[in-house]
Amino acid sequence: MWTRTAGAGEQRVLPDGCTDLIWSDTGPAGELLVAGPDTHPHLASAPPGSHYVGLRFAPGAGPAVLGVPAHELRNLRVPLAALWPEAQVRRVRERLAEAGGGGRGFAGRVLEEAALGRLRDAEPPDPALGAVVAGLMGGASVSEVAATVGLSERQLHRRSLAAFGYGPKTLTRVLRLNRALTLARGGVPYAEVALVAGYADQAHLAREVRALAGLPLSRLLA
């Protein structure tokens, strides 16, 4: 669960392979929406002081809760009412309305309850998904990961679209970007970031950061 209070200007939301279920207090009755997996930065803006509470689902976990393949939400922000039955959304709104002075912690618990309720009725996640993410994060090639989980590369691509929102090559780029940003924010020199995160060299790191995040690494960190 995460919370945020909007400040002045836009916030740059970077690709991370995840999907989010989000409540905000904008509008008379608040807003419930879903953020799909991104392939480029999403620039979010709201009136300063607006509050957001979200549940972030790890790569591959969102479709079981949201009820649609991840690729249908790629690079989108859609109302929850477009995905869930009207009665389910209404119950979530009613529970949120009960929050009163309960604040964002209560709103987070309401989102968790709604997600758990959906999971109880959903098919269990594909057991291969964890191995796919672990393999790609560990530097294995797409063909190696496919062989590990017993799929052809075409089958892996199809399942990845449904689970992650994009194919395994794009997922590799997104996961590698986030690992690189974690290292760079920790003060690791850029050349070492490139080596540890799995880039060919520092120039490759720079190109990928600009392509996926929309800014040079130094400006992004600043």
Quick one: tokens of 95? Answer: 């529970």
Name which of 112, 128, 113 is nearest 162 in CA terms: 128
More confident residue, 102 or 53: 53
pTM, to two decimals: 0.90
Residue 102 reports pLDDT greater than 60: no
Q: What is the CATH number of domain 128-221?
A: 1.10.10.60
Quick one: tokens of 144? Answer: 């190696």
Share of the chain above pLDDT 90, in %: 78
Beta carbons of 178 and 186 less than 8 angstroms apart: no
Q: Would you list the DSSP string of 33-66?
A: EEE---SS-EEE---TT-EEEEEEEPTTTHHHHH
Q: Would you list the DSSP string of 119-153?
A: HHTSPPPPTHHHHHHHHHHTT--HHHHHHHTT--H
Within the chain, which residue ranges are assigned CATH 1.10.10.60?
A: 128-221
Q: Which of 93-97, 111-115, 152-156 has the lowest mean pLDDT?
A: 93-97
